[in-house]
Chain A
Amino acid sequence: MADRSARHPGARAEAVAAWLLALPALLLMWVMLLGPAVAVLLLSFTDWNLGEPEMGWAGIGNYLQLADDPVFWQSLRNTLIYVGVSVPMTVGLGLGAALLVESVGRGRAFYRAAYFLPVASTLLAMALVWEFMFHPTVGFVTQAFRAIGLPTTDWLQNPDTALLALAVIGIWQNLGLAMVLFVAGLQGIPRDLYEALAMDGADGAWERFRRVTWPMLGPALVFVVAIIAIRSFQVFDTVAVLTEGGPNKATEVLLHTMVQEGFRFLRTAYGAAITVVFLVFTLAITVAQTVLLDRRAHYG
């Protein structure tokens, strides 16, 4: 490759131009993203707190401390529960909505806009509205539960329900994203597959879904799950403004713990270690996605 490019007329000029064109982005990428990511990793092995003049090597001290820190474990467990609840719900509802939207002729644009609007709106403002939705007496959620005779509570202040309440907000926010991605996936399925299926004698809705839609949607499904999982892992806004990790650490999540440690208590190195844990989980999702896509996506 290099041999060839060295030979064609203007190859040198082309290479110089390419470097000049790429340079600003490459520099910024290192300064703003990759460099700091490496720095976080290095910091996590020190004992530095912001403002201290000296920085000492701590080895895996921070990680040992994390392993002993009940708040960290609580935070990790909460994050995993949050992801475990919101991902299947978001993906399932998103897929259902996509199938329904694609199956009706009229009103598609309206439904799509309605379901997607939460994705495009300011989550922080909407979180405050949800705070009101969860109001223990006049909130819509409370009233709905009461209407069908179920017990109610102060959802965001009850340690048993607070995390689930936040997950509901997360599902509400991301559902439209999943739906839109699924719609794109559905539209990518060639029509003639359904026609062939009909000619082969299977034309019921369930057969169509089981034999064509679901298998053809495989790659899209993996992709949507990964995107929603990564977004769910990054849950922070609702926690910061609605519960601040409470009540009693019931909604403490990784990013919130990281911000508390790293920026409020200025335990920089410790915050860096939490960041590294957060990064490892996010990378694991991507690796899982890649492996699954490699296995599943080769239908051509």
Chain B
Amino acid sequence: MADRLGLLLRHALLLGGAAVMLAPFVLMLSISLKPPGEIFAPEFRLLPLQWAAVENYTAAFTKVPLLRFLLNGFIVTFCIFVAQAVTALPMAYALAKLRWRGRDTAFLLVLAALLVPPQVPAIPLYIALWQLDLLNTYAAIILPSTISVFGIFLMRQFFRTVPDDLIAAARMDGLGEFAIVWRIMLPTAAPALAAFGCLSFIWNWNEFFWPYIAVQDEHLMTPPLGIAFFSNAEAGTNWGALMAAATVTTAPLAIAFLLASRAFVRGVTMTGIK
């Protein structure tokens, strides 16, 4: 009996917590459906008396190029992930499985780079891109993120768990080192790569700091930048449309997360592997 009561209590606590965690999402959706008059009604209602979903979402897509923001978001996150994977996988393999002079130094560099927060290189990178006349381009958003030392580290740790015998077998079967990376390591690493892909997607979709610095052109804005721009332009007058835009911006991540929450969570917990 006491056990059941305890369990009930725990569920009550967890549900209460979940309600708090989810409240902003519910609020966001709710506001995005309401006309201005109802948004500031003293009594909160989940669903509007008078639906304004169409108006709000239409406004979100027409007052700012929201579709363009989303497209930019996909272009940027995709390019960044491909670049990160293409550079990180071979290096991780070389660090984990090959014997070469300089390996230890290279790994130390990776560890050192891991300690540098992404905001630290901002000023010199800005200067360099300005000199190259690349500010306000996709390249300006993408280039600084083309390398992920975290990805290298993660994949190296993963590759170290791949049995040496597998690589020995591949060498005896006639594979060269490059073939081993693409034919043996890449498919073996698929789960780890998927987890890393999820993290890379979260980070780069949500990245605000760098695009905020590097881009002013409305047509190059990524979703977070775009919505900040929208919020500034509306200055808190059109909450319905703003929340509609927020919903649209958050949706790709939230949907991806709900579809692949295992991979997401695995990716996050992998950061804890030593």
A–B contact at 8 Å CB threshold (below): yes
Interface positions of B from 67 to 105, Cβ below 8 Å from A? 86-88, 90-91, 93-95, 98-103
Query: Is A125 touching B224 in the complex (CB atoms < 8 A)?
Result: yes
Interface centre among B10, B127, B146 (most CB of A within 10 A): B127
**Shortest Cβ gap from B83 to chain A (Å):** 8
Query: Is A121 touching B181 in the complex (CB atoms < 8 A)?
Result: no
Interface positions of B from 117 to 144, Cβ below 8 Å from A? 117, 119-128, 130, 143-144
Residue from the list A5, A17, A129, A220 in contact with B24, Cβ < 8 A: A129
Query: Is A39 touching B18 in the complex (CB atoms < 8 A)?
Result: no
Query: Is B88 touching A29 in the complex (CB atoms < 8 A)?
Result: no
Residues on B with C-beta less than 8 A from A268 are: 123, 127
Counting CB contacts under 8 A, is A161 at the interface? no
Counting CB contacts under 8 A, is B186 at the interface? no
Q: Name the segment of A72-80, A83-91, A257-265 touching the other chain.
A: A257-265
Query: Is A14 touching B11 in the complex (CB atoms < 8 A)?
Result: no
Query: Is B246 touching A29 in the complex (CB atoms < 8 A)?
Result: no
Contact A33 to B127, CB < 8 A, known contacts A5-B100, A17-B178, A177-B268: no
Query: Is B101 touching A5 in the complex (CB atoms < 8 A)?
Result: yes
Query: Is A36 touching B224 in the complex (CB atoms < 8 A)?
Result: no
Counting CB contacts under 8 A, is B257 at the interface? yes
Contact A137 to B101, CB < 8 A, known contacts A22-B106, A240-B212: no
Counting CB contacts under 8 A, is A25 at the interface? yes
Query: Is B115 touching A140 in the complex (CB atoms < 8 A)?
Result: no
**Tally of B interface residues using CB under 8 Å:** 99
Expressed in whole angstroms, the Cα–Cα distance for A43 and B130 within the complex equals 16
Residues on B with C-beta less than 8 A from A24 are: 86-87, 90-91
- Measured CB to CB, the residues of B under 8 A from A are 7, 10-11, 13-14, 17-18, 20-25, 27-28, 31, 39-42, 44, 86-88, 90-91, 93-95, 98-103, 106, 109-110, 112-113, 115-117, 119-128, 130, 143-147, 149, 152, 176-178, 181, 202, 205-206, 208-209, 212-213, 223-225, 227-228, 231, 236, 239, 242-243, 245-247, 249-250, 253-254, 256-258, 261, 264-265, 268-269, 271-272
* 8 tightest A-B CB contacts, nearest first: A36-B121, A17-B177, A25-B91, A21-B90, A125-B246, A28-B147, A124-B224, A18-B100
